[in-house]
Amino acid sequence: MKYILLLLLLPMLSLAQTPAEKESYKNRDKYLFAARPVQKKFLKTIPFDFDENKQIIIPVIIAGETYQFLFDTGATTIISEEIATKLALKQLFKNNLSDGAGKVQEQPFYSLPGLHVGGIDFENVVAATADMKKFETQYCVKLDGILGTNIMRKCHWKIDYKNGVITMSDKAIKPGKNFYAVDFEEGFSGTPILELFMGRYSVNMLMDTGYNGGFSIPDSLYFKSRKNHEKPYKKGHGITTITLFENDYKEKYMGIIDSVYIANKRHLVLNGIADIDHADTFLIGNRVFKGFGEVILDWKKHRIYLPEKVLDVNGEYNTFGFAPVFKNSNVVISIVWEGSDAFANGLAAGDTVTGINGHTTAGIDSAMWCGLLEQIKGEMASEVNISVLKQDGTTITCTLKRTNILK
């Protein structure tokens, strides 16, 4: 999720091949890819509320209870540890999971008693578990799980960003007249991987609707491109990539990519914003697909369909220049961007925010924190007054203005 102040990513979450590769493929084919819809001849719609401060979150029913799941083409299906415990689920196997920062952990996989989404029942559903609580307590994002590609690949989907509607069907969804097909390869856990062209480089990018940014690329590629050097970029000190497993990167960049062609070169993205760090991940996210308006996914033909378009993303990143998170009952700055008001006023990652717009942060709980965050996220506020306790014991009180740091 991408706030103006806070960049929350749940970018890539897919099965990682282990040394026991043969066993991993066996478990994938036998369990993960066994999910299927019970009903036939269906065409259903699922509304969702989306903007650049929100994820695509949809209701999912398991054992009669309704949960909030992230709709994520960059992930395998995940449930919270609480759901697994509540339903006393049976563990089937363990496998490594790799998140968007490249961190790998072994996680258990469970068999679910069915899953209901958009009026359709799915059987033979298998999901991994993960700690989803931190997304609510730290970042005010209520998530109980992730609807991933091991379920999606059994249906046809259209994501209508303009009207906030997902269409799902067991039959092919016909694209409009000006739509063109973009072939994709299927990753190990079913994730669509698209070929993109950045200057003279051809790269394979994972289509990730769990990521609200535009592009995410390694710094090693970004700084190879002469064109990118001619576009603005800024350095961030701290951590702003939020994944399932903690990462320890201490710096990253935000920059503008001059131009990106998507596969067949009928789809051109100009001035796209990229998250640039040390992780060896290539992602294309909601900020790009929202610009095209609609995207249709067809796993049977291994294609997505997009309208032919030259998309100028504008390349603006308006921010106060810092990202706050709620940890251990304190509001802590996780990153500060060079070229911003926050950087100019001496704020740094690790400093504690003690006041926001006259409201103290002392003794607040996660619910109160979410109320304070509402005052400063998105485009709703053009300035914010904050008080900060520096790590050396000194204090700062200042008014920060929202500015475009990529200019």
Mean pLDDT is highest, among 2-6, 54-58, 121-125, for 121-125
Question: Looking at domain 318-404, does it have CATH number 2.30.42.10?
Answer: yes
pLDDT, residue 11, reads: 34
Comparing CA positions, the residue from 205, 284, 274, 280 lying closest to residue 234 is 274
pLDDT in tens, 169-183: 999 999 988 999 999
End-to-end CA distance of the chain: 23
Helices (H) and strands (E) in the chain, counts: 9, 33
pLDDT in tens, 92-104: 988 877 766 566 7
CATH 2.40.70.10 region(s) of the chain? Answer: 14-168, 173-312
Residue 29: burial class (beta carbons within 10 Å; 0-12, 13-18, 19+): exposed
**176 half-sphere exposure, CB direction, 13 A CA radius:** 11
Q: Residue 383 corresponds to which tokens in the numbers above?
A: 């300035």
Confidence band, pLDDT 50/70/90 cuts, at residue 154: very high
User: Tokens 């970018």 appear where?
Assistant: 11
Contact 356, 369 (CB under 8 A): no
Query: Has residue 241 got a pLDDT over 90?
Result: no
Separation of CA 394 from chain center? 36
58: Cβ–Cβ under 8 A, 6 or more apart, which residues? 46, 48, 68, 69, 71, 117, 118, 147, 166
pLDDT, residue 316, reads: 87
| Bridge partners for 117 per DSSP | 120
Q: Residue 212 corresponds to which tokens in the numbers above?
A: 């609200």
Mean per-residue pLDDT, 136-142 = 79
Q: Residue 287 corresponds to which tokens in the numbers above?
A: 């900020």
Mean per-residue pLDDT, 189-202 = 91
Mean per-residue pLDDT, 327-349 = 94
123: Cβ–Cβ under 8 A, 6 or more apart, which residues? 35, 36, 38, 114
CATH 2.30.42.10 region(s) of the chain? Answer: 318-404
Mean per-residue pLDDT, 334-350 = 95
Mean per-residue pLDDT, 248-267 = 84
Rg of the chain on CA atoms, in Å: 21
Contact 280, 11 (CB under 8 A): no
Q: Residue 387 corresponds to which tokens in the numbers above?
A: 């008080």
Comparing CA positions, the residue from 1, 76, 12 lying closest to residue 244 is 12
Q: Residue 268 corresponds to which tokens in the numbers above?
A: 């051109």
Confidence band, pLDDT 50/70/90 cuts, at residue 6: very low
Mean per-residue pLDDT, 69-85 = 94
Q: Where are the alpha helices (DSSP H) in 282-378?
A: 286-292, 341-344, 366-374
Query: Has residue 41 got a pLDDT over 60?
Result: yes
Confidence band, pLDDT 50/70/90 cuts, at residue 194: very high
Least confident of 7-11, 17-21, 85-89, 95-99: 7-11
Q: Residue 402 corresponds to which tokens in the numbers above?
A: 């929202």
What is d(CA 319, CA 402) in angstroms, rounded to the nearest whole number? 5
Confidence band, pLDDT 50/70/90 cuts, at residue 1: very low
More confident residue, 219 or 6: 219
Query: Has residue 21 got a pLDDT over 80?
Result: no
Confidence band, pLDDT 50/70/90 cuts, at residue 227: low
What is d(CA 175, CA 193) in angstroms, rounded to the nearest whole number? 20
Q: Of all residues in the chain, what percent carry a pLDDT higher than 90?
A: 61
Task: Enter the CATH code of domain 173-312.
Answer: 2.40.70.10
Q: Residue 246 corresponds to which tokens in the numbers above?
A: 């903690």
Mean per-residue pLDDT, 36-57 = 89
Mean per-residue pLDDT, 248-257 = 82
What is d(CA 357, CA 375) in angstroms, rounded to the nearest whole number? 8
pTM (two decimals): 0.90
More confident residue, 3 or 246: 246
Comparing CA positions, the residue from 147, 150, 286 lying closest to residue 213 is 286
pLDDT, residue 19, reads: 60
What is d(CA 329, CA 137) in angstroms, rounded to the nearest whole number? 10
Q: Residue 89 corresponds to which tokens in the numbers above?
A: 């689920």
pLDDT, residue 188, reads: 87
Query: Has residue 229 got a pLDDT over 70?
Result: no
Query: Has residue 395 got a pLDDT over 50?
Result: yes
Query: Has residue 13 got a pLDDT over 60?
Result: no
Q: Which CATH number fits domain 14-168: 2.40.70.10, 2.40.50.140, 1.10.10.10, 2.120.10.30?
A: 2.40.70.10
Comparing CA positions, the residue from 319, 187, 355 lying closest to residue 240 is 319
